[in-house]
Structures are given as C-alpha cells and as structure tokens.
Structure 1
Amino acid sequence: MPDNSQHFVIVGAGAAGLMAARELARAGRRVTILEARERCGGRICPLPASEFGYAADGGAEFVHGEAPVTRRLAREAGLSVRTIGGAQWSFDGTTFSRENPREPYDERLHAAVKGLTEDLTVAEFLRRHFAGPEHARLRHAVERMVEGYDAADPARASTLALRDEWMNDGHAIQARLDGGYGGLIEFLAAECRKSGVGIHLGALVTAIEEVDGRVGVRCADGEVHGCDRVILTVPLPLLRKIALPAAAREKAAAADDIGFGNVIKILLRFTRPWWHEREGLADMLFLLSDETIPVWWTRLPDQHPVLTGWFGGPGTAELSHLDPQGLIDAGVDSLAAIFSLPRGEIARGVVAASATNWAHDQFARGAYSWATPRTRAAQERLARADGPVLFSGEALYRGRDMGTVEAALASGLETAGIILQRWRG
C-alpha cells in the first residue's frame, strides 16, 4: 500500500509539473504545486480569442511528430488534434518560390549524417563535409533550420541529435490542437485539483533547504512548504536562480551541457488575408526569408486573417533592446520588405497584435531546450532519482522531439512513474 503521508512539492505548473502532479495524486500521494506566475501553463501561453478570432498561442503552438502522450491526453480532454497542410514558400530577396521540402535534406546530407560514428557540433559537421562554395546553399539551409526551427546554436548543437529530423525531411507530421494548448492545460489543472492537488499561484520559489531528512521549499514571500521530496520542472536558466542543497546543486550543474534557445513570436491579425491576393500564395502555410523576422506562417486550413512571425536562435539577441511594440514594428517592416508593399498599408490593416521575446520573460528566460554532444549524459544524470530533489521537464526528454510540449508531458509522466516505483511506501 502507498504511504499517503508522503508529500511532494512540484515547482512549476507547466505541462511537466501538472502531468507529474496528476499521476502522483491519482496514486494517493499528497501533492502541492508552487507556480511563480499567476496562471498555469508556463511557456504555453494562451492569447484572448476575442482579439485574434480563435484561441491563439503566444508560446507553444504545434503538435510535432507522433506525440503519443499529447494525443492520448487530448482524447481524454475531448480535444481534437488536427493535422495541418499547405505549401512552404521562400523569399530570396527578389522572388517567391515554392520550396521542395526535400531540397535542404538531399542525398549528400543524408549520406554524410548516416555515416557518422561520433557526435559533432553542426558547425564542425558542416566544416568537415560541406566546406566548399558549391555547398553554400546547403549550409545556409541547415543553419537556418537549426537556428530557426530548433532555436539552437550551430556552434554547440549536436548533429546526431538532429539526424532523425534531417533524415525524415524535417518533422513530417505537423498538427495543432483545436482550441490551442490552453485547453489542455485547463484540463490538466482541473484534473489535478479534482485529485486533491494544491496549486499555489504567485509562489516564487527562491530556495530548497534540507534539514534532518526533511525538505523545505522557501518562497520569495518567506513562506516555507515542508515536504518529503521536491520535483523541479522550471526552465533550465531558472535552476541557477534557486538556492539548492549541495548534492542537488552539483547535479543541476549538468544542465550547462544542455542547450537552451530563445524565440521571438509575433502574431498579427489583419482585416483580411491580403497575402492570398499574391498570385500562387493562397496555399501558403510557411514562408521563409532572410528578413529581420524571417519565418511566417498562416492558420491554414483555417481562414483566420492572422500571420505569425517567428525568429529563433542566438540571432534573437540582436533584437533584445526592443519592447513588444518594437517587435511588432519589426514584423510589419519585414512583411513590407517581403511583399514589396508600403509599410503604412500593412500597418493600417492590423487590428490585433501580440509579441513576446521569451528571453525577456522572467519565469522562462528563453523558449526551449536543444541537444549538444554532451546532452544525453547530462539528461541521464539529472533524471536520476537519487535524492530529495528531483528534476523533470522538456529538457530531460530523451526522445526525438526534445523541446516540445510532448517532451514536457512525457518527462512529467516518467518522473512520476519513477517515484511511484521507487518509493512505494
């Protein structure tokens, strides 16, 4: 029989924290969640449907790959996961062209990565295998994918970790949750509360203390929550902001071997989908360019007149001085350059806008993790349940789609499973 007196404190009410809490509470454990924000969800950030015409996402948006945990949870919640389709277009500064999705992942790249026996950073891999001027286009395509899609630094990112992505021509399956990820978070939070989980919002954790075999979790307001074990699910940069016991601090240092990238995301709602008026672009899902905000996507198959701008990776530091309105202006400028339209014409058509530089979010300090050649060893160390402080979250996921909501949910589920197996009471 489980020891129902066991008390677990989970720091962070994002996808990983809520998933772990639900599983532990269902098994009869006492669970408290401490969340610094005034809402659940973390880097899942719903935006008002009244502003954008649908339940928009200011953070995580897509369901990547097979995502079995996400899809199973969505079915529980009565939510639909809809596969999306459409064309990927590119703008080279002069003309639009429909991109062949295989082009950046051609046979030369496949052959080179398939034969790798040791891990290399992406930058080193390109230097060794594709250094010549004849490979300039391929290098650009790979670097653009690594920086823009994975939010990673090619000088540190693992080639082996990205190999499956390249060999499969990118993530072949792309989908969205009807109603956005906010509905999934609402469901998980309600499930937690129904199982007796206490969720404390506005509770900023500053320290974890270990005294006489018990653990105390101290918040910024001075309140201390006593418990048997703590599960930290905060984004990697925030681990450095929490004072930890010596053993946990030593383990947390392994997080330095896991990459963590930034994303700037901009949503612009217009009076009409004016890009459809450009010949051939009615089927446009993604649009890639080299403008300041380089990637844009539409709501296909929905017809909402919204364009979402995306800028990921180390280059986002160049825009760190901009506030949300400055980012919106940069987005409008980029669209004006891409479509050769007067800036004022585009700006006048905007009826709602949102912009987030996730590096500026004090409770995230970035967007999501990515793998370096040393990440797998770091994940194994962090995932060990060998003390009163445990770690969980998307950065610890060892599957293919690291850095996703699926990764967070799966990690939370795995952490709860380890606890229930190891400490049966």
Structure 2
Amino acid sequence: MEDKNYDTIIIGAGLSGLCAARQLQKNGEGVLVLEARDRVGGRTYTMKDAEHGSIDLGGAYVGPTQNRIYRLCKELDLELYTVDEKDYTVMDLKSCWGKFKGSVPPFWNPFKLLDLNHFIRTFDIMAKQVPPDAPWTARKAKQWDSITVAQFIDQILWTRSAKEVADILMKSVFCAESTEISLLSALWYFNCGGGILRLGSVTNGAQEKKVMGGTQQISEGLARLLGDCVKLSTPVVYVKYDGNIATVRDAHGNVYQTRYVISSVPQPLLNRIEFDPPLPWERIQLMQKMPMGSIIKTVMFYKTQFWRKLDLNGIAMSSDGVCAYCIDDTKPNGKHPAIMGFILADRARKMACTTPEDRKQALCAHFAWVFDCDDFLHPIGYREYNWMADQYSGGCYTSVMPPKVLTQYGRCLREPVGRVYFAGTETATVWAGYMDGAVQAGERAANQILYADGKISSYEVDRVELESVDYPAQPIPFSYIEYYLPSNTALLRFGIAIGLGFIGISTYVFFFSWKGALFWKWFQWQYNLDEKDMWKLSKYFRIPSRFYRHVSKF
C-alpha cells in the first residue's frame, strides 16, 4: 500500500490529463498521473499492426487553428501529412446520388443549393451569437436550448436533400442523431471550432492533416517527458477532498495524499468515482445528462488504391446504409491503401449487436454500392474499434448535450469543487470535443491551480494560443454572393409580392381603361343611378375626377 504526498494528482492519462501534468511540472509542481487503462492516450488510440502499419482507431485529424496540437507535434518532433482530397467526392442521398469536387454538392435543382446555403449561413450566424466560455448567456439561449437540431432543420429547410446533408453533418460531428442534440449545444460546439465549413471540410478544415505514425504518439511523447510519474492500470475509485489535503484511493487499495486533484475523465464516467463529500447536485445531474456519442470506427484495407483510377478520392457521405461517412486512409506514398469508415449514432448501436465479420461484409457492400465499384467487395484486411464498449470512455468522440442541459447545468462544466478541478475536451472553449480542445482544457485546469497558489495572474489562466507559424490558417471562402443569396422562403415571399403587385397593377389598369369605363356605365345602369349619385360614388371611392369625366363621355 502506497501513502505518499503530491502537489497534484491527475486522473486520466489522455491528452488533457497529460497536458495538465506537463504544465504543472514545468512550474515546479510535483504531479502523479493515474490512468485506468494499460496505455496512455485516452480517446486517441493507434493500433500497431504488423501487417497494415499504424492505424488510428481514435482521434486522428488535425486542422487549421488547432494551434496547440501543432505546437505539441513540433515539440515532440512529429511529422504531419496532408489528407489527399483531389478527385471526386461521392454524395449518396435517398433523394439523389452524385460526384463533386470542392464543397458544392452536385444539386441540379437550384432550390436545393439555396436551401443548403441558407442552412450554413443561418447556422453560422446564430453560432457566433453563442459565447464559447458562457453559452448559457446567449440572448436566445433558453429558446435554442429547448429544441433539438432536428427540429431546427425541419423549421428552416424545405428540400429533402438539404435536410439529409445537414443530418449527415450532425451525425459525423457528434456521433449522435440530430434528435438527441440541443440546438444551443450544437451552436456552441460549432462556434468553438470555427463554423460549419471549418468543421465539415477536409482541405482547410478539421480533417486536413494526420500525424505520421498515429496521434497516440503525442500522449506517449508527453508521458516520456513527464518521467515516472504516470501509473497505468490504476483506476481511481475514491476521492476525499474535504479540508486542505485531498485523499485519492485506487482500485488496488493504494492511498495518495495531494493538495489538488484534476479529473480529465469523460463527464459520464465520473459517476464511477466515489467523492467525499459528494459533488454538488448540479454536477451530479450534469454527469447523468451528458451521454457519450456512439461510434464504431473501422478501417478496410485493399491491395491497391484502385478508386483513384476511377477519379474518386475515397470520401463519401451517405444518408442510408451502414456508414454515414468514409474517407481515404492510405498512408503517404500509397502505402497500405485503406478506407476509413465511421458507423455512427443509431447505426452504431444497431451494428454493435452483430459480429465484426458481419460489419465487415456490410461495409464492403456499402462501399461497393456508394462508389459503384465491385472491387470494394474484396478487401485484404479489416480493423475496427467499438468505442461504446470501451469501459473507460463509454463512447466517442465526446459527450452530447440534449435539450435544456447546457442552460441548466452548463455553468458547472469548468467550475472547480473544493480542491477538485476538471479538464477533458468537453470543458474546452476552443475546439471542444477535439484533441486541441483537450490540450486547452488540461492546460487551463493546471493554470487554475497555479493561480490558486499565486504563481500566475488571472489573465494567464486561459491563455490565447499563438497561431502556428508552420501551419497558418486560411480564411473560409464564403463569398459575398453566398452570404446574401435568398433562402427558399425569401424567394417564395418575393414571388408572392410580385404576384400581388401584378394583380394590383392589372386591376388598376382595368378600371382606368375603356373597359373599366364600360363597367362603371353598366353599374350606373344596373342600379339606376343619376350623375349626382355617380359623382358621390367617385368621391367615396376616391376615383380621380378626370376618370369620372372619362366615364361620363360614354
């Protein structure tokens, strides 16, 4: 049984926990990192496969403005490579199928393009109104947090194709159905990452680059820098934080004394740790109401990169079938040709009840159908990871917030409780849910402790990261025309206004023409009116006197 004092104990050796430990160690603090798994990395997991090389079955992609990850890769001397997006992307919807390059789907119907453009523009404008550090203070926070993303999509979109694209986007980002996600939480999440086009794109987007050899190397490199203060296979089961000293006990009965505790585990898994005294009721409720996303991440290997000969880049989005999104995962120089497929949300929960071989066959059939090529039916290898079955993650990529969670309990996310502080990518304000967000959250939690000890000022707690010199971000190309294109609703209103105007003008022309004069003459004859009566009527209806004189000539 161990009984030793530390300045800070960090629970979890994922990116967030390791970055917190590194930040504290740099400032002279004695730290201990306790990890339940037999490896570091958390939700980044690189399988070392003798046949197919390094396979990222967890967090994998790096993109513009993710400057903290760029900084760590440079510090650890890790090489990045660019995901090859040239050639055609495939879009397989229930309503249509097509190939396209760039970011414009192959919609021949202009109403579909207007609809999709309206969704992107409106969603991003709304997202910018949600403060990343306090989304519950947005002017329409309660209104937006009372509906789901699915309800919002139904409200503003007209065409089935645009709704399907929006739904695929939400599934791919949250690993959850649109019906499970609060609109406010989605707006906050996208604002943290720079908007729809930044999060949803490959080139100049969140899926632009990968780490040569796998992203788990970042955590492994940080663990080496920390030295022997990282203990694996050590689940924490008890934390007592009353008074000036906190006590931590692991599943093996070892007891540790510390001044501070940082938890970097996913919010729902905090329920596995007994806290004494119990955490505040708001945080307990929050932990119960933030489920993890549902995903089975797969990689299918082939002998050659044959899809490139068909002018396909291996990227496909699908509203039907087993895989919502897939992307070429071939290593640089054409090594280990592969397609990485994401089985998400309801499909993941359904396919988790089948065998790996069943999932493999279903994916092969899906790829053959979507790409219209039977060569996808003959893979040479298959690897997968069911994150829902990972007992120390419970799912991926991050926690999902249903309606009314963020406004009622969101204030608890980053607030320390006594001597217990909270990290993890869910608590980030920049790139929440991503590796960069995990780094920010870990360093912020560490800085909160350094501030409590008087070692740094309050301005240094959540520092703004400088832009990477090696990988500067390019602006999102959203043109003036795209910004001001009308929505289908506005177009309809304009059409109605034009139609009513035409009717009004036609009526005016009719009554002020010789046909109108004949009508007035008929009216006078029908009701036996004299000239004096007609004059009164013209005054009552404000008919110009010159027109009445025109009528009197008949």
TM-score range, shorter chain: 0.7 to 0.9
What is the TM-score with the length of structure 2 in the denominator?
0.67
- CA RMSD of the aligned region, Å? 2.7
Alpha-carbon distance, 1:252 to partner:
4.3
Contact 1:46 1:56 survives alignment (8 Å) = yes
TM-score (norm 1): 0.86
Return the alpha-carbon distance in structure 1 between the equivalents of residues 60 and 151 of structure 2. Answer: 32
Matched, 1:9 2:9: yes
| Aligned partner of residue 17 in structure 1, secondary structure | helix
CA contact (8 A) 2:263 2:422 kept: yes
1:21 aligns with: 21
* Cα distance in structure 2, aligned partners of 1:7 and 1:324: 45
Name stretches of at least 5 consecutive residues in structure 1 with no aligned partner: none
**Structure in which a larger fraction of residues adopt helix:** 2
Does the 8 Å contact 1:293/1:309 carry over to 2?
A: yes
Partner Cα separation in structure 2 for residue 298 and residue 167 of structure 1: 20
CA contact (8 A) 1:255 1:378 kept: no
C-alpha distance in structure 1 between counterparts of 2:34 and 2:445, whole Å: 17
Structure 1 residues 368 and 323, CA, compared in 2 at 3 Å: closer, same or farther? same
Aligned counterparts, 1:239-278, within 5 A: 239-248=270-279, 250=281, 251-256=283-288, 258=290, 260-277=292-309
Q: Please state how far the C-alpha of 1:60 moved relative to its aligned partner.
A: 0.8
Paired residues of 2:388 and 2:394 also in contact (CA < 8 A): yes
1:153 is aligned, of 161, 177, 196, to 177
Give 1 or 2 for the bigger CA radius of gyration: 2
Q: Distance in 1 between matches of 2:21 and 2:370?
A: 46
- 1:348-369 per-position Cα deviation (integer Å, ceiling 9, x unaligned): 531x321111001111110122
Q: Alpha-carbon deviations, 1:128-182, whole Å to 9, x = none?
A: 222xxx4211111111110123323322233422365226573432211222212
Which of 236-245 and 203-212 deviates more?
Answer: 203-212
Aligned position for 2:454: 424
Separation in 1, partners of 2:163, 2:290? 24
Q: 1:36 Cα shift?
A: 0.9
Aligned letter for 2:392? F
1:358 aligns with 2:383: no
1:383 aligns with 2:414: yes
| Letter of the 2:103 counterpart | P
Q: What is the CA distance between 1:229 and its match in structure 2? A: 1.8
Q: Name the structure 1 match of 2:160.
A: 136
Question: Would the aligned equivalents of 1:257 and 1:378 in 2 still touch at CA under 8 Å?
Answer: no
Alignment partners' CA distance in 1, 2:378 and 2:171: 31
Deviation per residue, 1:352-392 (Å, 9 max, x gap) = 32111100111111012245564377454231234122111
> Is the contact between residue 268 and residue 288 of structure 2 (CA under 8 Å) also seen in structure 1?
no
Counterpart for residue 336 of structure 1: 368
Which one-letter code corresponds to 2:301 in the other structure? R
Number of the residue aligned with 1:178: 212
Letter in 2 for 1:397: A
Tell me which moved more, 32-41 or 222-231: 222-231
For the 8 Å contact 2:265–2:424, the answer to whether it is kept is: yes
1:98 to 97, 100, 103: 100
Q: Name the counterpart of 1:112.
A: 122
For residue 286 of structure 1, report the CA deviation from its aligned partner: 1.5
In structure 2, the CA distance between the partners of 1:157 and 1:315, relative to structure 1 (3 Å rule), is farther
Secondary structure of the corresponding residue to residue 200 of structure 2: coil
Tell me if structure 2 keeps the 8 A contact 1:206–1:218. yes
Q: From the superposition, tell whether residues 424 and 308 of structure 1 become closer, same or farther in structure 2 (CA, over 3 Å).
A: same
Deviations 1:399-425 (A, max 9, x none): 2x2211111111101111111111238
Is the 1:291–1:338 Cα contact (8 Å) retained in structure 2?
no
Q: Say if 2:439 is the partner of 1:415.
A: no
Could you tell me which residue of structure 2 aligns to residue 127 of structure 1? Answer: 154
Give ranges in structure 2 of 5+ residues lacking alignment.
Answer: 106-112, 130-138, 456-554
Match of 2:55 in 1: 56
Specify the code of the residue in structure 1 equivalent to 2:26. Answer: R
Q: 1:325 to 1:389 in 2, by over 3 A?
A: farther
Taking a change above 3 Å as real, the CA distance of residues 99 and 246 of structure 1, as seen in their structure-2 partners, is farther
Question: Do 1:397 and 1:411's aligned partners in 2 also have CA atoms closer than 8 Å?
Answer: yes
Could you report, residue by residue, the CA deviation over 1:187-245 in whole angstroms, capped at 9, with x for unpaired residues?
1111111xxx5111111122222465432222222222222221111122211221123
Paired with 2:338 and 2:59, the residues of 1 have a C-alpha distance of: 16
Deviation (angstroms), 1:340: 5.0
- The answer on 1:319 being equivalent to 2:351 is yes
Secondary structure of the equivalent of 2:253? coil
* Alpha carbons 1:263, 1:313 under 8 Å: kept: yes
Residue 329 of structure 1 deviates from its aligned partner by 3.1
Task: Indicate how the Cα distance of structure 1 residues 99 and 125 shifts in structure 2: closer, same or farther if over 3 A, else same.
Answer: farther
1:285·1:300 contact (CA, 8 Å) conserved in 2?
A: no
Q: Which residue of 2 aligns with 1:237?
A: 268
Deviation at 1:66, TM superposition (A): 1.3
SS at match of 2:222: helix
| Structure having the larger proportion of residues in strand | 1
